[in-house]
Structure 1
């Protein structure tokens, strides 16, 4: 049985900019074989979009939240079946 691929869009609020959060998220996403991007938002949050197996997406969320637990105040997340055509994982400016 083939695992279905999903897209995760997540937004992290709190003290998440200027502390290596995006690099940490990208490193973990690449380690899990995910594709997508992460970027700082004007309101001080960080947005992440990743595409891959649902299990890997859930693991990414867990690792990022545990790695920055003291800094993250809120997470908004949504999983969807939309197809994403990313060739790798990047930090967007």
Structure 2
């Protein structure tokens, strides 16, 4: 299992990005959280199978909603897990 800290930049707030991110994470059996940042980006912490994490980032990069426009994704990978029980949207 692996863990990634992800920051997505672009038009990613107010377009259903967090809810769709949660749906994708649950489909891929990833655990963690997603939240809006004050600078307009979205921050994600996800853990699970490395192949699932890669697929997750690929889907985020495509813009998971029709109104989202992803400009850049920053990723930091970790070997350790936090032990999240589910994937949730943080306020």
Shift of residue 35, structure 1, vs aligned partner: 0.3
Is 1:64 matched with 2:32? Answer: no
Greater mean alpha carbon deviation, residues 73-82 or residues 41-50: 73-82
The TM-score normalised by the length of structure 1 is 0.90
Shift of residue 67, structure 1, vs aligned partner: 3.0
Equivalence for 2:39: 43
Equivalence for 1:90: 88
Equivalence for 2:30: 34
Cα distance in 2 for partners of 1:67, 1:39 equals: 16
The TM-score normalised by the length of structure 2 is 0.92
Equivalence for 2:73: 75
Cα distance in 1 for partners of 2:18, 2:25 equals: 10
Q: Which runs of 4+ in 1 moved over 2 A?
A: 67-70
Secondary structure of residue in 1 paired with 2:62 = helix
Structure with greater Cα Rg: 1
Pairs aligned (count): 89
Is 1:23 matched with 2:19? Answer: yes
